[in-house]
Structure formats: structure tokens, C-alpha cells
Structure 1
Amino acid sequence: MFAPKKAPFKKKIIDITVPISPSTPIFPGDPEPSVENICTLEKDGFAVSKLVFGSHTGTHVDAPSHVLKDGPTVDNLNIESLMGQAVVLDFSRINGVLTDSILNKAYNGQKISESVSILLVKTQKSSFRKEKNSETSNLQSGESDKRMEPEESPENSVYLDAGAAAWIFRQGFKTVGIDSFSVDSLSSESLPVHHILLSNNVNIVECLDLSSVEAGIYFFLCLPLKVEGCDGAPARALLISYS
């Protein structure tokens, strides 16, 4: 656990959370998010909205129960392991698989002299965060703008392999985050990386927005919604810069 007096909260805060809206890109087959006005200021004197989205919508944390029978659910995760010193490695110029040797070379290239417990993998030149326009903001509840789908496919995605997952565990990382839909290949059905990481108590955070983040050391904070018995949950993720 970090010492509160040493936490750099007076430094620059970078929000690396993908916002949830009807236009948020989703993994094929996941529930489409919607925000519906139930009560309004004009009619009721107060505003209340109905929210509909999947447990893996936007920036989210995968719980072990996502892939493991009888695995812990998101409300039982160790929150301390989702905050602390983090290293961001930039692979935005690479396409395809990230192996243990690729991760190790990039990690050593950072010349890290302090303990880090969180690994964040930047893979995309573009971001999940899309510019809003009048047409998008006027989407009705339950509708989706197919033009807002991310330019990500099994052919051009960047992902980890089983060797990379094993390297992450051996290095002692407690959390790994990525700015794409999955730490596994999008075409994978067996999800070996998910299984290796989650079975070894390494948290997985997916769909981060690292578009404005440079490689380096930061303080990371990620708090998933405490949804009882659920396989994952959207989260607010922040980086705090030391410079």
C-alpha cells in the first residue's frame, strides 16, 4: 500500500477513462449503452437518468469470475492492488503480438530504479474518445452510431501472448492495463492471457485512454464500481504525473 503523505496529489492529474455514452465503442455482442432521462428539471424539479450498459463497457476492470469458475467477483477485488506506482510502455508503432522479450526490452529501456506494481500498455495512436457532434449527442436511447466503432480488428490489434502474461506475473505486477478491448487477441476464444493473469491475482484493466500519455512512471488509481457478484465493472482511472 502507498503512503498517503507520499502520494503526488498536487501534481498533474490525467484522466485516462473512456466516457460512457450511447456512442461508446463496444465489443461485438456486448450490451449497447444508453442514457435515458427518467425525471427532468423542467417536469419534476430534479433530474434522474436510467443507465444501461454492460459490465465491460468503456474503461473497465475484469474480475477473475470473468473467465474462472468460482473466481472472485469485482466487489471482492483487492482495491490496494489497483493503485500505486505504474509504468507506461509505448507500443503504438507496433502491430500484432507483444511477446515477453518485447515487453522486457521496453521495460528495461525505461531504466526504472524504483518499485512499480502496475503495467500500462499503450498500443494505439488513436483513442476510444471520439469528438462529439450534434448528430451523436442527439442519439436516442438504445440507438448506436455505427460510425463510432473503433478502428480495431483482429488484423490490426496489438495484444499480449501467453509468454508476455507469464512475464508480467514473474515481474510481480499486480495490475496490467491496456488501451484496447482485450489483453488477448480479438480473435482468441480460449483467452490464455486472461486465464494466466487472473488465475495469478493480476488485475486486468481494459479500454484505457492513453492517447495523451507518454511513456514513463506515474501514480495510478483505478476504482471499479462495486457491483455485487459481477464479472467486471466500469471504472474511473487516473494517472498522476510526478513532473
Structure 2
Amino acid sequence: MFVPEKIPFKGRIIDITVPISHSTLIFPGDPEPSIESVCTIEKDGCAVSRLSFGSHMGTHVDAPSHIIKDGLAIDNLNLENLMGQAAVLDFSQINGALKDSTLDKAFNNLGIDESVSILLLKTKSPFEKEKSSKTSCFQAEESDRRSETEEFPENSVYLDSGAADWIVRKGFKTVGIDSFSVDSLSSENLPAHHILLSINVNIVECLDLSSVEAGIYFFLCLPLKIEGCDGAPARALLILDS
């Protein structure tokens, strides 16, 4: 029986998941999302939809097998590393590469203790224009999809190899970011991905941190359990102590 008093945490829940819809922005070249009705209540007595989208659609977790041959698949990740105390660092005023010194300064300014095992990076989201026009953070009209993603690389914030090494040295189990990639979108060898995933540091991408302030939260992120897959969409939450 469900007993609310036994919940290990209490507080305000902040949903930091990007919704999946026909108009969700995608990484250039990824499969287009499709949500198709195959049964309706009026005709069939129930509603059923056919879903089609890439494994890295919307808010998602990268598995090591995304870039490492014989790396762990998404269904074999240790879920304990995708939940716990998280530090949100705000880099929304920065463009380009995040360096180890930048991360270290923000980390120390926040007064983070050793219980924090997850690092979340708030950046200057390329979707703020959509947000300000009262549309969902990761949504745009189909005709605008290409132009939005093409503008993204110039303004994206990403980890250089030194910053990725810093994350490993600090012992973080998961790193998340509110953009398409922890690497530069123009990168071909994906150094941050390789550094992090090679030792099974989880990567969560396309978070919605637009309404989240820097601070300490409880983080919970559960990717879909798809056998043998290189990644999967996830529901990600922050819980703020009341």
C-alpha cells in the first residue's frame, strides 16, 4: 500500500523534460518524430497511437554504446547513478566551450558538498526565442525547424576535453545539459562523450532548465528500458526541498 510518509524526499517537483511532439526540435539528421492515431475511442472503443522517433529524441540519456563499440546499452545502465543530489550551474551568459577552470569556479561558488553526484549545466538555450513567443521550449513550426537548428552551433555551450576530465576527477556519476550535446555540434570525434562514457559517466541531453535557478536539487531521470539500444528518451525531474 502507498504510504506518503515513507517517501524518501518531499518538496516541489520541477519537470525538466522536453515534451515529444510532431514539432519537437531534433538534432540535424535524426529521425523526424511521428505520432499517429491508429485506434480511436469513437471507432474502436479505445485510443492507441503509433510512435516513431529516434533514440535521442527530446530529453534523453546517452548509453556508452552510442559511441563506444560493445559499450553498455541503455537497458544495462545503473539507475542509481541517474538519481541523487544534483548541482545546477548556470552558464546562460556564456557562449562556446566550458573549461575546467570555469566549472571549478562555479562549483566552488555554490558551496557544493560531497553528497552531490550529478552535475546539470544550464546554458543559453537556443529555444529562448520560442519560449518568449509563448510556445513550448523545444517546439517550433515545421517550417522553422531547420533554421532553428542551423543557428544553434554558433551559440551552443559545450564541454571541452579539460572540462570533461574535471567532471571525471570530481567523481560525478551523471552530467546533464539543456542542449543537443555535451560536445560542440561541429565536433566529429566527440571528445567529451568519449571521456565521460568510456568510464560510464551518464550523459543526459536536451533538458529544459529554463525555469531552474542555480542550486542543489534532488534529480531523478529514468530512460525507457529498450533492450540493446544506444540511448532512450527519459522523464527527468528536479525535487526542491520545501
TM-score under structure 2 length normalisation: 0.90
- Contact 2:125–2:179, Cα closer than 8 Å, also in 1: no
CA distance in 2, matches of 1:64, 1:217: 27
Q: Is 1:173 the counterpart of 2:161 in the alignment?
A: no
Instruction: Please list the CA deviations of residues 105-136 of structure 1 after superposition, one character each: whole Å capped at 9, or x if unmatched.
Output: 00000012351000000002564776559xx9
Q: Note the C-alpha offset of 1:93.
A: 0.4
Deviations 1:155-186 (A, max 9, x none): 11110000000000000000000000000000
| Equivalence for 1:7 | 8
Unaligned regions of 5+ residues in structure 2, if any?
A: none
Q: Distance in 2 between matches of 1:22 and 1:45?
A: 25
| Cα separation, 1, equivalents of 2:31 and 2:100 | 34
Mapped to 2, the partners of 1:169 and 1:14 lie a distance apart of 27
The residue aligned with 2:143 is 146
The residue identity in structure 1 corresponding to 2:210 is: S
How far does the alpha carbon of each residue in 1:50-101 deviate from its partner, in whole angstroms, 9 at most, with x for none?
0000000000000000000100000000000000000000000001110000
CA deviation after TM superposition for structure 1 residue 146, in Å: 2.9
1:26 correspondence with 2:26: yes
Deviations 1:192-238 (A, max 9, x none): 00000000110000000000000000000000000001000000000
* Structure 2 counterpart of 1:185, one-letter code: S
Unaligned runs of 5+ in 1: 138-143
* Deviation of 1:154 (Å): 1.9
Residues 127 and 210 in structure 1, CA contact (< 8 A), matched pair in contact too = no
| Closer, same or farther: CA 71–114 of 1 in aligned 2, 3 Å | closer
Using the alignment, how far apart are the partners of 1:37 and 1:57 within structure 2? 19
In 2: Cα distance, 1:230 partner to 1:125 partner:
27
Residue 64 of structure 2 is aligned to residue 64 of structure 1: yes
Report the CA distance between 1:5 and its aligned residue.
5.6
RMSD of aligned alpha carbons: 2.1
CA contact (8 A) 2:126 2:155 kept: no
In 2, Cα distance between the equivalents of 1:72 and 1:35? 29
SS at match of 2:43: helix
Matches within 5 A, 1:1-243: 7-8=8-9, 10-125=10-125, 127=127, 131=134, 145-148=142-145, 150=148, 152-243=151-242
Matched residues in 1 for 2:99 and 2:6: separation? 37
C-alpha contact 2:66 2:231 (8 A) present in aligned 1: yes
CA distance in 2: counterparts of 1:180 and 1:28, whole angstroms: 13
CA distance in structure 1 between the partners assigned to 2:215 and 2:182 by the alignment: 20
- Calculate percent identity across the aligned residue pairs: 72
Q: What amino acid is aligned across from residue 91 of structure 1 in structure 2?
A: F
Give aligned pairs, total: 231
- Decide whether the 8 Å contact of 2:64 with 2:73 is kept in 1: yes
CA distance in 1, matches of 2:107, 2:76: 30
1:81 counterpart SS class? helix
Structure with the larger helix share: 2
